[in-house]
Amino acid sequence: MLATLQARIGPRTAIILVSFFLGELGDGLNIFQGIYLVTLGWNEGSVGVALSLMGFTALIVQTIAGDVIDKTHFDRRTFLSLASLATALSASAILLVQEGNGDRMLIYSTKIIEGISSSFIGPCVAALTLAQFGPARFDDVMAGNILWGHLGSIASALLAGLTGYYLYPDIKYCFLVIGFSALCAVGGVQLLEEGDALMGRGLQTQAAGTLDTSVVAEDIDSNTGYVNADQSIAVEAEKNVASYWSVFGDRKTIVLCFTGFFFHFANANVLLVLGELMGGDNEDGSVKRSAIPLIASAIVLAQFTMSGATFAGDIATKRGSGRKPLFLAGLITLPIRCALIILWKDSGDAFLLSTQILDGLGGGFFGLLHPYLVNDIAFGSGRFNVLMGLTASCFGLGGTLSNLLGQIAVEHLGHVASLTGSLVLSFIPIALFWKFMPETRDERGRNRSIEIKAVEGGELA
């Protein structure tokens, strides 16, 4: 029955479903968690520490997770299911927190678990996409994954916002959305095909156009898939795995890591500050009821704009646009956003909310181009997922330091000082990427891959 359902749905639809529900598992609800903890008596510094623990754990684990996903002989779908469940369970532990400060260790420990488990989700999705659709269709399918992930985040924020508003002041029940999303994601994973495991780590083991006839329906364009390569080809491909240093030491890798670090260092804290500026507080310091839909709207507006940016970026890529101009377009939105929030901090919630359009544009282009750039750099090396993990770790380090130091700055210096720091930092990634990053379009796999003449006969060039 499962095989019949897989064949009927097709691999493209299956991975879209998984991406949608994994999008609902994203960190968009972290801002709700931060607000809820403040209402229970936590100060901004403690909230920053809690959120930073997840980030610090992830930045340590993500590179290791990518390496595990590269080398594993276990089904990556199992990894994805377990990671989704563990992420949801740890994130839902906030439901057990009582008023006061006695439950900090519960949140601190579960944020560490969440950091570990969530580190496997991105590499798993990227590996399964590459394994099933190959390098030629990776950009197209990955753009769809990212788009539907943003739509999942929108659905999650809407459900959480509505639940928190109508059950106010018991806003903790909005976190039940996470558990529901995890169950749906695990169900969707069962519909995925494993694909070619070695191609999933970035090794060329299939000739272009090779199809998995078990999943190809009448519409070949939407159901193209790969199966595991012949044994002789697989053995030869594994001999061609590049050294870590040849991939990590690549100039393009270094520039991407530093660019992403400084972008997230400047960017991550801005949404937290924006949430604190909008809506205001009650006399007892708790968040006003009216702030909840405003914060949900901020997340939804950003994710909606990210969806549009992802769609536009995908079209631009198909029409021949390079990686560099699109990535720079995303980076440039951050200093503009920071400046506008500072300028409009007393102009009303509508003005502050509108700045999330820029967040969506920046995050949309950045999120779309990240896997493209990594695949351009690493395909053929056998180090695709570990490089995804390394770059994600660098991005996570920037975001974690941003949340930690940004909230400390808010506590001691105020919101404007925190935003000014983000504004100054936001020019660094623009200068780095513009000056030092070459264009990588059409460079995918060059000088790394073995050339396959005939899969059927197992002949290698």
User: How many CA atoms are closer than 13 Å to the CA of 56, on its beta-carbon side?
Assistant: 14
* pLDDT tens-digit series, residues 386-408: 999 999 989 988 887 887 888 88
* pLDDT tens-digit series, residues 79-110: 999 988 888 888 777 777 776 655 678 888 88
Q: What angle do CA 188, 194, 199 make, to 5 degrees?
A: 135
Return the pLDDT at 100: 64
pLDDT band at 442 (very low <50, low <70, confident <90, very high): confident
Cα 5 from Cα 192, distance rounded (Å): 10
Higher-confidence position of 295 and 78: 78
Return the pLDDT at 256: 96
Q: Which CATH class is domain 9-205+222-443?
A: mainly alpha
Which residues have CB under 8 Å from 330's CB, separation 6+?
Answer: 309, 361, 362, 363, 364, 365, 366, 369
| Residue with the two structure tokens 């995918």 | 444
Cα 328 from Cα 317, distance rounded (Å): 14
Q: Are 279 and 306 in contact (CB under 8 A)?
A: no
| Residue with the two structure tokens 């990053």 | 437
Return the pLDDT at 213: 38
Calculate Rg over the CA atoms of the chain.
22
Of 315, 333, 196, nearest to 263 by C-alpha is 333
Is the model's pLDDT at 457 over the cut of 70?
no
Q: How many residues does the chain have?
A: 461
Extents of the domains making up the chain? 9-205+222-443
Is the model's pLDDT at 459 over the cut of 90?
no
* pLDDT tens-digit series, residues 240-264: 788 888 889 999 999 999 999 999 9
pLDDT band at 445 (very low <50, low <70, confident <90, very high): low
Return the pLDDT at 7: 67
Return the pLDDT at 209: 43
Return the pLDDT at 207: 55
* pLDDT tens-digit series, residues 360-373: 999 899 999 999 99
Helix (H) or strand (E) segment spanning residue 453: strand 452-454
Cα 35 from Cα 161, distance rounded (Å): 12
Q: Is 91 helix (H, G, I), strand (E, B) or coil?
A: helix
Return the pLDDT at 122: 87
Whole-model pTM: value is 0.80
Q: Are 210 and 199 in contact (CB under 8 A)?
A: no
Q: Are 380 and 449 in contact (CB under 8 A)?
A: yes
